Amino acid sequence: MNDTIDRITIRRPDDWHVHLRDGAMLEAVASFTARQFARAIIMPNLSPPVTSAASAAAYRDRIMAALPAGANFTPLMTCYLTDDADADDIASGHAAGIFTAAKLYPANATTNSAYGVTDVAHIMPVLERMQDIGMPLLVHGEVTDGDIDIFDREAVFIERILDKLIRALPGLKVVFEHITTAQAVQFVDSAGPNIAATITPHHLHINRNAMFAGGIRPHAYCLPVAKRELHRLALRKAATSGSPKYFLGTDSAPHEIHAKESACGCAGIFNAPYALESYAAVFEKEGALDRLEGFASIYGANFYGLPLNEGMISLERSDIQVPDDIESAGSTLVPFHAGSELNWRMIPS
């Protein structure tokens, strides 16, 4: 008797953390996310960043214009918090349905974060207002001090900043984005139901060795950087546990091939084209395919207080070869899993 599962059908999923960029790169990547996901939380780290409701509305229009004809996809916009973020503009943008959430980048933590927050104390009035109106705070959880080892920056952020922040604002909804450590899992597990986390496909698949496998591997470099194997295993356990505190956020972050393969290569992994296939591989290996739907399609929407999607998609067992690179609208991009095989194929409904 063959009891392997060859097809699973789940409610249409959402991506709770993605970089769609702007201009030519937006044209190149929008269709990949729109094909796999019904909705996505759009990161605001453009240059210049999306800091006002007016600029978010204009960016949303540019995303809609970049989608292929007939796409059924809703971008959910976010506000990039700066030291002088305007609580009234953020609250009115939220009330008007323009801002779904606001993003805290510690200044200089990652790509286009130079205008980020230098000290959380500067934005406490904004965070208090967000707590009052039930608007989620999305956190890039790394300290930026050069004297903290890069592999410790997430754990130190929890100790020095996040723990204090949630004690000061116990009702604030917080998504700890793209977690990478066992300490983050422990922190989220022991916090209240208003604290959740997204987990990327790459942090479920690779540990830090991937960056140095036979030479320097820029396509395995992202921020927060992949950690030791014990952390990857803790993330796999959390993602597949069935806990509603963990949900799908790809952090797909495309950069042109020449910007990755460089003496100072950019951080970011472009995983949008095969994101669901990549997650399915993890859930299958962990014997948890029956929990993929919760992680991909239910827990995130519930946390954000949004309705579940109506349609369904399927994943079918089928060997697919991930190309070495993808040419799209004038950009050359190297996808996550480039040159290897995945064993599921996503079929839109």
Residue type, 222: C
- The per-residue DSSP string of 253-280 comes to ----HHHHSSTTPPP-BB-GGGHHHHHH
Residue number, 38 or 222, with CB nearest to Zn ion = 222
Residue number, 251 or 284, with CB nearest to Zn ion = 251
Find the Cα–Cα–Cα–Cα dihedral 253, 255, 257, 258, rounded to 10°: -150
110 makes contact with ligand DOR (CB under 6 A): yes
Of positions 251, 273, 275, 300, contacts Zn ion by CB under 5 A:
251
**Of 278, 252, 272, nearest in space to 111 by CA:** 252
Residue number, 36 or 113, with CB nearest to ligand DOR = 113
Residue number, 110 or 331, with CB nearest to Zn ion = 110
The C-alpha angle 109, 279, 209, rounded to 5 degrees, equals 55
Asked if 248 and 171 count as a contact pair (C-beta separation under 8 A), the reply is no
Count Cβ atoms below 10 Å from residue 80 Cβ, excluding itself. Answer: 25
Distance in Å, CB of 251 to Zn ion, minimum: 4
Nearest-angstrom CA–CA distance, 277 and 224: 22
Binding residues with ligand DOR: total (CB under 6 A): 10
Give the tokens for residue 19. Answer: 């970089």
Catalytic (active site) residue 251: yes
Instruction: Say which of 147, 251, 290, 319 is annotated catalytic.
Output: 251
Nearest-angstrom CA–CA distance, 278 and 271: 8
154 makes contact with Zn ion (CB under 5 A): no
Q: Which residues contact 204 (CB under 8 A, 6 or more apart)?
A: 232, 235, 236, 239, 278, 279, 282
- By CB under 5 A, which span of 153-161, 189-197, 247-255, 258-266 interacts with Zn ion? 247-255
- By CB under 5 A, which span of 49-57, 161-169, 218-226, 244-252 interacts with Zn ion? 244-252
Of positions 53, 222, 272, 322, contacts ligand DOR by CB under 6 A:
222
Determine how β-strand 331-333 pairs with β-strand 326-328: antiparallel
Residue number, 223 or 289, with CB nearest to ligand DOR = 223
- By CB under 5 A, which span of 85-93, 195-203, 250-258, 303-311 interacts with Zn ion? 250-258
Query: Looking at the annotation, which residues are catalytic?
Result: 251
Q: Report the interface residues with ligand DOR, using CB under 6 A.
A: 19, 45, 110-111, 140, 222-223, 253, 267-268
Q: Give the residues lining the site for Zn ion (CB under 5 A).
A: 251
